[in-house]
Structure 1
């Protein structure tokens, strides 16, 4: 009561933030007449003036009113859109590094242009992040007109883009891209060997559209660039035949945590069956270390069968298992579940089993987006996750008022006892709305349920459209038609579709269709006809009550429900939303609907009757909040573990960058060599040990192997007054002399190039091995909890020790490889370069061909696997230069790696 009274007197914190922007908005509005007087060249000249003023010390905050006024005028001329005051407010909050929560239809795409333009004045580049490639291309083309009118460049990044085009896109003032492509390009950049191949120049400012989908829903899943490993398809098939023979006593499913585990009885049965199939040797149990691989495959097989459903989690198309994004309902071609789970599903479905992959590089969205100096976001639904945005990303959430008051009526949920009763009621409700011409958008949670409902509507002779992963290609058209008079549209997960549902249908789409259907008629005449018809249709739809959103189930996240609801009532349109539920729905079933079922039974509810009460809504929202809280805890825990790897990743990537930028690495490799000398002396002639206790034979052998020098260590040890320091100095001097002779023989420039390549390739190789070790450590460290030790602390300390070991091993390998380099004949030189470059080229190909498009398994990863390159020349033979043709230094390498010839087979040692 007191809280309500205080809010009435002082306003909410959100109200105060909104109020604080009003003076700035008033300044922008006051400048409008001045900017209207400028000609087109004047707008571009204003951009140049603002850039110059910023360079001379004026802050972006000082320039904001003029920059926003200039941008508004450019949008008005280029697009015919004049931004509302609330859109300017949204832009101000984005510039401040907040999340602007703006309802559907409030024009978020235009809002992003204001802070993007203002921050691009710094010359550092702004990234606008979208959820799919279609939106990235559409928005860059659409808003690119505004930036062009302001004298700014705009680019778009998309999968499999030619290198020069991608580099130009990143060099633009404003770059549109998906979160996946940005993350993968970051990883690709840190696998490159030369600075001029790098795409991303800076991580200055990012505006994330559908920020909740990208930073929350997809944050659990790491981005992985991987390469193929050994083929184990036979083992997957053998294990898959075993899983259907299990019964309910052999395993337990926990739907709340989406996990499945074998019982003790199941383990015993498994051991018998695996031995019978020769998959487990006699005398070996599932608990032996040697059984790890088989146990892993059996566990993944069980998950594939019991947790992943066809047409809900994935579809099978042309013999390929294609994942479905649980949040948007879109297909994700090219995305694979990691850790052998995708192969287990392929075995289950009888598809061709692709080989498993090994990780070459990985990063989570959480850690990628925290690289930016400033981050902001837009969405229609962020308030429910405000705590997570604040804790993980330091982002505040501000609700921006709507341009017109919301006129949508949100009805209480209707809860039926069975799914059959619920769907019968839904069909009847759709019939009533359809008969009076009210368009209906029906929300479902899976392809299976949308197709089942479609069958019921077909039986009831109700015309309708279905939008799910199978109709992915027709998405824009189906959404555009969803507001037509009497339209019925079934949609699987409407989150982030990026197209507004306009009452009466989308006018632009209708005009384009009509002109295409009658190419002989005058386009202007057609336009006038369609506009007149559309005005009548729009009025009829408004009279019928606007768009009716009818949801068939509650999602475990309130945000997804709110996104569906928000499709209705855009820009003050009338509308209505209602949720039809049953006690058999997943959320109701998991969160204790038995009690409610008993109560309803005692109340004597009749067949087809529903319980409708605000208490039911509140109870469901509490259940959803519990699930959201649990998912937040999972993401927080995952982030704590990934932060450990992220600290190491930053060190390695910074080291690579430093090496690529350096002209002369001789100092670094000399330091490494001297450290190896120190380690050898400390190992074989330890401090405080007498000369007769030294292992001089071991030191002599180690010097030959690791330093490539043949020195009389044994004779030195017998000299009077020779201690460890003398040995250390003599070894350092001998190794320095040998490397100086090598440098002279090769020539300084060639030697610098050899040092750079060996350093980069050794770092990449060691980092890959380290990632694999950390993956294995992560998978078993949880068991330390049984010994009352904190798994996270154990992981931190062991990961640090492993990193130290990796750096030590790196020094040794680089020193050893450099000591073995010698001037060679042409034939020897070519063979050596092939060996040196093979690894790098394989990584480059894996990086180039990675093509992911959305989130995958929360416990696994999302990855794009490298495919072998096709040679550009028929009969190309790596070992025979005569088959290479005669490529120029800057032409593509004939091996098909995608690299320039001078960076691949034409590289000079």
Structure 2
């Protein structure tokens, strides 16, 4: 089936200081902005005596003047809007935003990616930025990394908007078309980043379908009083503010947004099911090395000549049947499912249904599927209901989708180091802000081990000793499988702990609420590293605050900083430490030589001596940088391929 792609264009964005002050930024400009932030605080204080009705009226009058003047964005006007927003926050939340939050909101509203340390209150900053930008555009989209965070963040700030007379809504994946259209009619719309993209693709499908009806279409629309634009859900792409911007714009941008056609059937036909089951059986009869090879680094499987012959010999059992792809691809998918996709790491099975696990966050998504028949191969492997393969009907890279917006702003705790990519794809620059309160986090040296068993033993030993401090402990794992192994090992010796992973997403808020108490031990996948706020009790703060123990390093140093940043938020005490083993996924895929060095350096206890750990840490950091550069080039090739496809389509249309 034909796929729909888009070719959005967007002018580059200057630095936010350049936008606000009309010239290049320097230290003098930064001092000016700090002075302007003080002015915002003063203006907000002058509105304290206004009634709620008067505050809303003043905001409405200001917004009306802005729209009538057709001003794009300027500092003086934005300051007036932000001041009213600060007062609404004070009345709603019980506190007034501090200078760093106001600074961050102005920069974000101006179209910049702001780096703020974890615990600085980015949820409030995002809301202030959205309402500050709101009078200048028809609508502001606020994108989060997950559905849960979109609903949570909107619920916590919705009254701030309503107090000023601003309409707002949150997108949900289960909403029908009319509910979604109503949400987009609001001035500020919260939602997970992917949902904005899928709604755009659905609108493009409607436009394409209407374009196919050419003869008499205008007359029919006139007679019926309809317009194709009335059936679309999104009004425009004026401005988007992205929470955890590096995760949405970089980490998730390795894969495009793909909209699949939904079929009526919920289960494969008997013939289709038989083909997947036979492929599984044939794959099980093949021998690695003699029939096929597996590259665990590139995740590629290749047949030998003997293996390929064996594949097609088995096809005789199926007889004459229709296959959606070459037969050897069925068997290659079965081998991929067996060797490269692990249960409770890449996917989970709940109630006879396969759900994928996001490798960045550890969250489970039951509405995502693997492509090219691989999803069905995994279902056959697990012996559950095999669902019909779905066709891709529309796609767009995330880079090109976000380029549709006239203005892109965002916040994250880890933007530095990604300036080149953010500038290349999105035309935005990074503004790092100093924390409101100095960070007191103690970052302990990374510990290296010969293998997982030695590392797990050290985790148990550390946790047992750490209990004496009565400080809260967060153990961050890479996968659901690892979190369960640590949980079971600690329970086996009588240590009570709480498990937080994608399987228990519904209980996340309740678990997080108690994770900062004394004696608390929480084991979590990477989902605890983004968008969570672990608040300390007074006693746990006095005892030294939260300690984060990470059971491995990520491919990205930014992801590691996010997890470590759960500790010592908002000037609280806290500490973090990483445990690394030579057989970690990171080394198996990208650093075999470094893994060998770790294994050779390990003492009989299974741990590397402290004296050698610093050298290994330096090499590990360089490996992460190398991987990030490789991933950046992968994303560039992805976008380049889309551009090449567009040129081919344009040439075909021209002919």
- Structure 1's 800 and 293: CA in aligned 2 closer, same or farther, altered over 3 A? farther
Distance 1:451 1:160 in 2: 30
2:75 counterpart of 1:77: no
- Structure 1's 122 and 600: CA in aligned 2 closer, same or farther, altered over 3 A? closer
2:156 counterpart of 1:142: yes
Equivalent in the alignment of 2:489: 456
**Is the CA contact (8 Å cut-off) linking 2:529 and 2:563 kept in structure 1?**
no
2:96 counterpart of 1:56: no
Equivalent in the alignment of 1:393: 426
Matched residue SS, 1:494: helix
- Structure 1's 625 and 279: CA in aligned 2 closer, same or farther, altered over 3 A? farther
- Structure 1's 399 and 253: CA in aligned 2 closer, same or farther, altered over 3 A? farther
Matched residue SS, 1:438: coil
- Alpha-carbon distance, 1:571 to partner: 0.4
Equivalent in the alignment of 1:362: 395
**Is the CA contact (8 Å cut-off) linking 1:416 and 1:422 kept in structure 2?**
yes
Q: Which of 313, 324, 331 is the aligned partner of 1:275? A: 313
Equivalent in the alignment of 1:424: 457
1:330-341 paired onto structure 2 within 5 Å: 330-341=363-374
- Alpha-carbon distance, 1:118 to partner: 2.2
1:282-321 paired onto structure 2 within 5 Å: 293-321=326-354
Equivalent in the alignment of 1:556: 555
Stretch of structure 1 that moved more, 549-558 or 60-69: 60-69
Q: Which of 607, 610, 619 is the aligned partner of 2:608? A: 610
2:362 counterpart of 1:348: no
Distance 2:89 2:423 in 1: 32
Distance 2:27 2:587 in 1: 36
TM-score (norm 2): 0.86
**Is the CA contact (8 Å cut-off) linking 1:464 and 1:489 kept in structure 2?**
yes
Matched residue SS, 1:191: helix
**Is the CA contact (8 Å cut-off) linking 1:210 and 1:496 kept in structure 2?**
no
Distance 1:59 1:24 in 2: 19
- Structure 1's 123 and 268: CA in aligned 2 closer, same or farther, altered over 3 A? same
1:58-457 paired onto structure 2 within 5 Å: 58=71, 60-61=73-74, 62-192=76-206, 193=210, 194-227=228-261, 232-249=272-289, 250-257=291-298, 259-263=299-303, 266-278=304-316, 293-457=326-490
Stretch of structure 1 that moved more, 343-352 or 51-60: 51-60
Equivalent in the alignment of 1:581: 580
**Is the CA contact (8 Å cut-off) linking 1:439 and 1:541 kept in structure 2?**
yes
TM-score (norm 1): 0.63
Distance 1:800 1:160 in 2: 36
- Alpha-carbon distance, 1:65 to partner: 1.4
**Is the CA contact (8 Å cut-off) linking 1:433 and 1:439 kept in structure 2?**
no
- Alpha-carbon distance, 1:174 to partner: 0.8
**Is the CA contact (8 Å cut-off) linking 2:369 and 2:375 kept in structure 1?**
yes
- Alpha-carbon distance, 1:248 to partner: 2.7
- Alpha-carbon distance, 1:397 to partner: 1.3
**Is the CA contact (8 Å cut-off) linking 1:442 and 1:490 kept in structure 2?**
yes
2:532 counterpart of 1:499: yes
Distance 1:14 1:313 in 2: 47
Distance 1:419 1:134 in 2: 32
- Structure 1's 279 and 99: CA in aligned 2 closer, same or farther, altered over 3 A? farther
Superposed CA deviations along residues 294-314 of structure 1, whole A, max 9, x for unmatched, are: 132222222222211111000
Matched residue SS, 2:169: strand
Equivalent in the alignment of 2:45: 33
- Structure 1's 31 and 240: CA in aligned 2 closer, same or farther, altered over 3 A? same
- Structure 1 runs of 4+ with >6 Å offset: 13-17, 279-282
What is the root-mean-square deviation in Å for CA atoms of aligned residues? 2.3
- Alpha-carbon distance, 1:608 to partner: 4.5
Distance 1:172 1:237 in 2: 49
**Is the CA contact (8 Å cut-off) linking 2:238 and 2:406 kept in structure 1?**
yes
- Alpha-carbon distance, 1:599 to partner: 4.6
- Alpha-carbon distance, 1:94 to partner: 0.5
- Which structure's CA Rg is the greater one? 1
**Is the CA contact (8 Å cut-off) linking 1:467 and 1:475 kept in structure 2?**
yes
- Structure 1's 15 and 100: CA in aligned 2 closer, same or farther, altered over 3 A? farther
Aligned length: 596
Q: Which of 482, 489, 495 is the aligned partner of 2:522? A: 489
Matched residue SS, 1:334: coil
Matched residue SS, 1:219: helix
Equivalent in the alignment of 2:621: 621
Structure 1 unaligned residues grouped into runs of 5+:
1-12, 283-289, 505-537, 648-795, 806-909
Superposed CA deviations along residues 357-392 of structure 1, whole A, max 9, x for unmatched, are: 222222222211110000011111121322211111
Greater helix fraction, Structure 1 or Structure 2:
1
- Alpha-carbon distance, 1:141 to partner: 2.4
Stretch of structure 1 that moved more, 491-500 or 20-29: 491-500
- Alpha-carbon distance, 1:614 to partner: 2.7
**Is the CA contact (8 Å cut-off) linking 2:261 and 2:391 kept in structure 1?**
yes
- Structure 1's 357 and 495: CA in aligned 2 closer, same or farther, altered over 3 A? same
Distance 1:179 1:600 in 2: 44
1:391-790 paired onto structure 2 within 5 Å: 391-494=424-527, 497-504=530-537, 538=538, 540-589=539-588, 590-591=590-591, 592-593=593-594, 595-597=596-598, 599-600=600-601, 605-612=603-610, 613-645=613-645, 647=646
Distance 2:494 2:415 in 1: 39
- Structure 1's 233 and 800: CA in aligned 2 closer, same or farther, altered over 3 A? farther
Distance 1:244 1:53 in 2: 71
- Alpha-carbon distance, 1:166 to partner: 2.1
**Is the CA contact (8 Å cut-off) linking 1:457 and 1:463 kept in structure 2?**
yes
Superposed CA deviations along residues 56-113 of structure 1, whole A, max 9, x for unmatched, are: 3555313011111110001101221310100011112112211111122111111012
Superposed CA deviations along residues 461-497 of structure 1, whole A, max 9, x for unmatched, are: 1110011122222111111111110111110113564
Distance 1:395 1:407 in 2: 31
Stretch of structure 1 that moved more, 314-323 or 563-572: 314-323
**Is the CA contact (8 Å cut-off) linking 2:422 and 2:428 kept in structure 1?**
yes
Distance 2:27 2:375 in 1: 48
